[in-house]
Chains A and B, each alone.
Chain A
Amino acid sequence: MELMTCVQGYISTGNVPPILPPSGGSIDEVILLSQTMGVAVGNIMQQKITNFMVPQTEHCIKLFLSMYHRVDKALLNEGDKPGWLTTYNFLCLLNIP
């Protein structure tokens, strides 16, 4: 695509789209994402494993993935694939517990 022609096209026709307000998810979701990431990574890197740890870690990973999905979804353009789908490492986290 030619950027100059594209911008010129909008301006010359007088059909200039409005400037959008800041997008993306809410700050609460982003903070929750960072917290769940810390907890998930912390659980996975535990040195000692107990019977309780396995479901607990699985729970933390799923919560983290859910929060990542929410934040990521709000940043995607139309037609984009979710980040957890394009970076397969996210799904492989589920293999750990």
Chain B
Amino acid sequence: MNYLMLGGGKYSARWGYSANISEVHQVIPTCDNCLVKQKRNGPDFNDTSDNANKCTSCTNWEMCGNYPMLRTRPPGKFPQDTILDVNQSIEPFELHYKLLKDAVKLANEKLTDGIWSNEEAKQYLWVFGINNDAVTKIIEHTTNQRLFAYAETHKDSIPVEYEVMRCHKERYPTKYGPWLYPASWTCRIQLNQHVDVPMHLLFLAVTKSTIKRIMEWTRYQNKQNHYLRMVGGVLETVAKLHLDWCVAIPMQSSKFGGWVSENFLALARLSRWFFSMLPYLRPGPEYRDPLRPLSMWTVKELRDWLRARGLSTHGKKWN
């Protein structure tokens, strides 16, 4: 366990980086001008060492570096003494285990000295993507240290409390010292060497999401039925061949129930084949409002009516 937040954290959407991406997401994707240059110049375009050619409206998917537009406001209770910028903003940075250890060490010192409140320490460590489990333990350890130091100083006036804490410390000495870093933070493997498993990342995540999005596009274009028939046909044909390197299974609907990584791998292998047929998709029957009285409409008809007009379809027929 490495005590790091996964993609759910506000500052940890991208593994190995700390950045409040949701606040700056408009400037991260390649802008139209840069996309044209990117297509024309190939990999040379991504060389970010030349500051003169840096775009001022996008970062071309870069998450850190010298981009003032990536700077964001720190969270509410972020300790002010750690912000170096005159504009009181923080910039994204790449995470390393040494950086994490330094952050924990600083939080530990500031908490023990009573300079930071627990909330300030929480916000500080949150920016580094350290998870709640670790933060709770760090705060517990520093609280123990502080309380024990207080009890020791005032042991004449609070002898019972001091004795209880002393016994507890004797029994659990590690709880009265700095929080011990997890083993993964101290081994020789660096944080950026722990990448996602490519099979899962590419096929269960990216391929699946992209194909679902294209499927949604066909629905918006009123061509989903033909698309499903076409893809289903391709997959069924390949499935009959029983290829171990391309385990295709027929697609029954727009859901992928029972699909596993190797099925998405097959889908990725075949995608360029069946997507080449996209221009030949025939639209389904055009939407028409039901002619029956409104009180007799089904939920599907109500949703279709709203969807056809670009309105929200969430909710029940009756409350």
Q: Residues of A at under 8 Å CB distance from B?
A: 1-4, 6-8, 11, 16-20, 22-25, 27, 30-31, 33-35, 37-38, 41, 44-45, 55-56, 58-59, 61-63, 65-66, 68-69, 71-72, 75, 77, 81-85, 87-96
Q: Known pairs A34-B210, A34-B275; list 5 more (Cβ under 8 Å).
A: A37-B206, A65-B61, A75-B220, A89-B205, A95-B14
B42 nearest in chain A by CB position: A59
Residue from A3, A23, A82, A90 within 8 A of B220 (CB atoms): A23
Q: Which of B29, B39, B294 contacts A11 (CB 8 A)?
A: B294
Q: Nearest Cβ distance between residue B192 and chain A, in whole angstroms?
A: 7
Q: Indicate if the CB atoms of A17 and B310 lie closer than 8 Å.
A: yes
Q: Which residues of A contact B206 (CB under 8 A)?
A: 37, 41, 89-90, 93
Q: Which of A18, A19, A68, A77 has the most CB of B within 10 A?
A: A19
Contacts of A19 in B (CB 8 A): 287, 308-309
In terms of DSSP, what is the predominant structure of the interface of chain A?
Answer: helix
B195, A68: Cβ atoms under 8 Å? no
A49 to chain B, nearest CB (A): 13
Determine the residue in chain B with the shortest Cβ distance to A62. B61
In whole angstroms, what is the CA distance A65 to B25 when docked? 13
In angstroms, how far is the closest chain B Cβ from the Cβ of A58? Answer: 6
Tell me the B residues contacting A by CB distance below 8 Å.
6-7, 13-16, 21-22, 25, 29-30, 35, 38-39, 42-43, 45-46, 60-61, 63, 192, 195-196, 198, 201-202, 205-207, 209-210, 213-214, 216-217, 220-222, 268, 271-272, 275-276, 278-279, 283, 287, 294, 297, 299, 302-303, 305-306, 308-319
The answer to whether A85 and B21 touch across the interface, beta carbons within 8 angstroms, is yes
**CB-based nearest B residue for A58:** B46
What are the residues of chain A within 8 A of B61 when measuring CB–CB?
61-62, 65-66, 94
In the complex, how many angstroms separate the beta carbon of B181 from the nearest chain A beta carbon? 22
Q: Is the CB of A95 within 8 A of B16?
A: yes
A62 to B48 alpha-carbon distance, docked (Å)? 13
Q: Which of A7, A24, A96 contacts B305 (CB 8 A)?
A: A7
Interface pair A68/B213, CB less than 8 Å apart: yes
Is A20 touching B310 in the complex (CB atoms < 8 A)?
yes
